[in-house]
A and B are shown apart, each in its own frame.
Chain A
């Protein structure tokens, strides 16, 4: 089948040369953007790129550029090819599908346009792209592409015309909040780090340890437009007074690591990282640190411990990393998406950014749409859009016309939201009120065949395995809760178990050291709140309404 050995073994990538654009920018009439992010690559989009290039060359189309780009969003229909000038998208393009490739060549040569008109597709027309503006438009491994698309203008503007205070004021004005999940005001965090005094430097850290199962926003951004994240980090470095940055990426994302490393080298070569950035005295260096498969390292103090080579266990806060982070120095930690928001905020102004979204949740949010929904993929929407618009308009509804049951947001510390909440606007406050949270942006749609007790058990299993073991409530509490949930899914639970589960969950939530433990009971709370009848069916009637659990005591 497919191969992404290029992605699996970073060192081997070199033998597949980065494709040069066939046509210089000025002479290009149309382009064919072939998605080369992990999703499409696993469906052989690298071969599609080669096949299309051969055909375009054979047809003598000298004003057509066949380009390697990052994620085009609609992962469900890959491999994808977009002709941006004509607004057409070709889906399911196989490297050996002569008809599809012919249709593409016809479109590119000015004939009857094939594929689908993107403007008419709600999947595209309902989206607002700020973070993903250049994803799928630029070659992730060519800084020249990023520069052509206006890249590094924000950094240049920052270091040549703005004071650090002005940069922070702009971020404060934007109302941007942390996109890693907690939603802490970014401007406030920057202000704190900027004010912290240090005689031997400060650090800027990018959290790319996207561990939530069902989330792939950060992976896609790093695979598609790593320069934008680096630019955001450099601007942050200038604003808070740091000269060194680290990106902490999961080892599970080899392609993202490879492209990030290549982006750093190219940015250094182009003078946007390293010394004397944009001809000024400002210097900023970025290093990559690879995670090693520990979910808890997404927690900021655990992440810092891991960057310093130790076990990724969290520590109590305060002191917050803003005061004492890496090697005890003031450290700014933001998520990939937060940094990617910074260049547009600086370029177009905080006021513009703040005009998108809702009262307290400004701007856009990137979501990874997955599960039982037709249009699985990567989307970016203005805050305040309803769940219904996301699942049914953008997502195209459920696969096979099945009945919607729930949408899970926020990963293992999030919750499952039922049908009656579909019209709820998506913002930090509404989600928290409904017993879930924004999380990093994974959104998993579940249909009637998914058992909510089993889902709660799934997440508890996750947390029990990933608990670092440092604090007792999380280490033992998750194990006990898992045991109760397992008992219930086997049809052996009692009503008393439900009470025990509830009180254990309260205890773990209030007494755990870090976000992993404090959030671990959330899937239990939200399923008990909205799907209590499913728990009762397992307990009282020894049946699983979804038909997912085996109630004979065996395992699923």
Chain B
């Protein structure tokens, strides 16, 4: 195989995490079809995908920037903005919806002045909305910093986010 310029590219900064990204890309053979896998790795390590990260991935995998940007914006899992220190994900799957997920979002909006997808001004908390977490048997479900909470009520969610 012909060596692509990708191998000699230098990452956006000397942050050590880029080494892990490079390892991942090497394992995938720098193949363009590894794009989503690589974006997952970058987001896991840095929390979100910024322009320099997208440009680096684009060059390393020889994928046009337009396609990288297209993929990064197509999938709702990828974040192009930094997230808050804490995250609160409200599930709005069918079971959660009919069991009051709307009331939870309304309560959070009232408390934090946040719509789903927003982050508080102090960067402390991001509010997200999930399509379905598959935790339907505990509806409505909320995930706060990775912890799943089931059968949440507007008052209990207020306590949860206030404790952060």
Contacts and interface: CB of A to CB of B under 8 A. Distances in A.
Interface string B105-144: 0000000000000000000000000111111111101010
A39 B138 contact: yes
Contacts of B147: 1-5, 42
Nearest to B40: A290
B94 interface: yes
Given A214-B132, A446-B98, A310 B137 contact: no
A311 interface: yes
Interface stretch (A292-300, A347-355, A473-481): A292-300
Contact of B97 (A78, A252, A310, A458): A458
Interface in B65-80: 67, 70-71, 74-78
Contact of B150 (A42, A289, A295, A450): A42
Contacts of B36: 289-290, 292, 306, 309
Given A2-B149, A408-B94, A458-B94, A309 B131 contact: no
A215 B134 contact: yes
Contact of A292 (B40, B95, B99, B135): B40
Interface string B30-49: 01111111011000000000
A9 interface: yes
Contact of B132 (A212, A310, A372, A450): A212
A65 B147 CA distance: 29
A210 interface: yes
Nearest to B94: A214
Given A252-B130, A252-B134, A310 B67 contact: yes
A216 B32 CA distance: 32
Interface string A90-109: 00000000000000000000
Contacts of B70: 311
B23 interface: no
Contacts of B143: 8
Contact of A444 (B37, B77, B95, B131): B95
B164 interface: no
A372 B98 contact: yes
A311 B71 contact: yes
Given A42-B135, A292-B75, A309-B34, A455 B150 contact: no
A293 B32 contact: no
B108 to A, nearest CB: 15
A312 interface: yes
B84 interface: no
A312 B77 CA distance: 13
A213 interface: yes
B73 to A, nearest CB: 9
A290 B77 CA distance: 11
A180 to B, nearest CB: 16
How many chain A residues sit at the interface, stated as a range, is 35 or more
B5 interface: no
B98 A216 contact: no
Contacts of A517: none
B138 A211 contact: no
B78 A4 contact: no
A76 B137 CA distance: 6
Contacts of A2: 147-149
B98 A38 contact: no
A462 interface: yes
B112 to A, nearest CB: 18
B128 to A, nearest CB: 11
Contact of A216 (B34, B63, B130, B136): B136
B33 A309 contact: yes
Contact of B137 (A292, A377, A468): A377
Given A4-B146, A289-B37, A310-B67, A294 B74 contact: yes
Nearest to B102: A556
Contacts of A311: 70-71, 74
Contacts of A339: none
Contacts of B97: 213, 458
A3 to B, nearest CB: 5
A216 B131 CA distance: 13
B75 to A, nearest CB: 3
Nearest to A1: B149
Contacts of B76: 292-294
Given A252-B130, A309-B34, A214 B149 contact: no
Contacts of A370: 94-95, 136-137, 139
Interface in B85-99: 92-95, 97-99
Contacts of B137: 39, 75-76, 78, 216, 368, 370, 376-377
Interface of B: 31-37, 39-40, 63, 67, 70-71, 74-78, 92-95, 97-99, 102, 130-139, 141, 143, 146-150
Interface of A: 1-5, 8-9, 38-39, 41-43, 75-76, 78, 210-216, 219, 251-253, 289-295, 306-312, 368, 370-372, 376-377, 408, 411, 442, 444, 446, 450, 455, 458-459, 462, 466, 468, 556
12 contacts: A4-B148, A8-B143, A39-B138, A41-B148, A251-B40, A291-B77, A310-B35, A372-B99, A442-B94, A444-B136, A458-B97, A468-B74
Given A38-B135, A42-B135, 11 more contacts: A41-B148, A42-B150, A212-B132, A214-B93, A215-B132, A216-B135, A252-B130, A309-B35, A371-B99, A408-B94, A444-B94
